[in-house]
Amino acid sequence: MSLKSYSRARAVHVMLVYTGGCNGCDIEIVNSIFSPKYDAEQYKIFLTWNPREADVLVVTGPVTKHNEKPLKAIYDAIPEPKAVIAAGACALMGGVYKNIHGDIPSEEIAGPVDKIIPVAAKVPGCAVRPEDVLAGAVAALPLLLEAK
Ligand code: SF4
């Protein structure tokens, strides 16, 4: 077993992708979950910006058309097993970017996330609560563990 495989099997690496929201969810995730308060690293949950190291992809925002292809490319670059968490009202159903009829305006928005890539866990909120994102990550763990 290579050192990389050994490390991957013993830790969860989370990659965060912003797809056009207001950044409120990103701030909650990066500044709270990986801060000393929640200290996700004590559970061997690490943040990475490299899709080839990631196990879990957390997606925020409604997925603008501009971000659709990059999101797919990042998802494809993550090795199996992998799980996606859609985080926040925008990622789940367009959030504040929906139009008044309740539909996401198709000329601007390609999302929600589950229209573009498979989603294992959905975390509601505007912004998301850090503890709910951690619960989403825990809910996705069986997918990762079963496949390892
Ligand atoms: S769900 Fe709310 S806080 Fe999160 S990106 Fe959308 S508007 Fe911002």
Whole-number pLDDT of residue 14: 93
Whole-number pLDDT of residue 8: 66
- Structural contact between residues 37 and 64, judged by C-beta atoms closer than 8 angstroms: no
pLDDT tens across 28-38, in order? 998 888 888 88
Whole-number pLDDT of residue 68: 96
DSSP states along 17-44: EE-SS-SHHHHIIIIIITSTTT-GGGGT
Q: Which of 126, 128, 129, 133 to mutate to test the pocket of ligand 1 (most atoms within 8 A of CB)?
A: 126
Whole-number pLDDT of residue 7: 66
pLDDT tens across 106-140, in order? 678 898 999 999 999 999 999 999 999 988 888 88
Angle at 133 between CA 63 and CA 92, to 5 degrees: 30
For residue 11, what pLDDT band results from cuts at 50, 70 and 90?
A: confident
Q: From the CA of 13, how far away is ligand 1's center (Å)? A: 23
Q: From the CA of 51, how far away is ligand 1's center (Å)? A: 23
Whole-number pLDDT of residue 144: 74
Pocket of ligand 1 (CB under 6 A): 21-22, 24-25, 60-61, 88-90, 95-96, 126-127
Query: pTM of the full predicted structure?
Result: 0.90
Q: Taking the CA atoms of 77, 20, 133 and 16 in sequence, report the sign of the dihedral they define.
A: positive
Cβ neighbourhood burial of 3 (10 Å; 0-12, 13-18, 19+): exposed
Which residues have C-beta within 8 Å of that of residue 27, sequence separation ≥ 6? 127
> In which residue are the tokens 């993550």 written?
78
| Three-state SS at 113 | helix
Q: From the CA of 127, how far away is ligand 1's center (Å)? A: 5
Q: From the CA of 143, how far away is ligand 1's center (Å)? A: 27
Q: Domains of the chain (ranges plus CATH)?
A: 11-147 (3.40.50.12280)
pLDDT tens across 27-74, in order? 999 888 888 888 888 888 899 999 999 999 999 999 999 999 999 999
Whole-number pLDDT of residue 100: 54
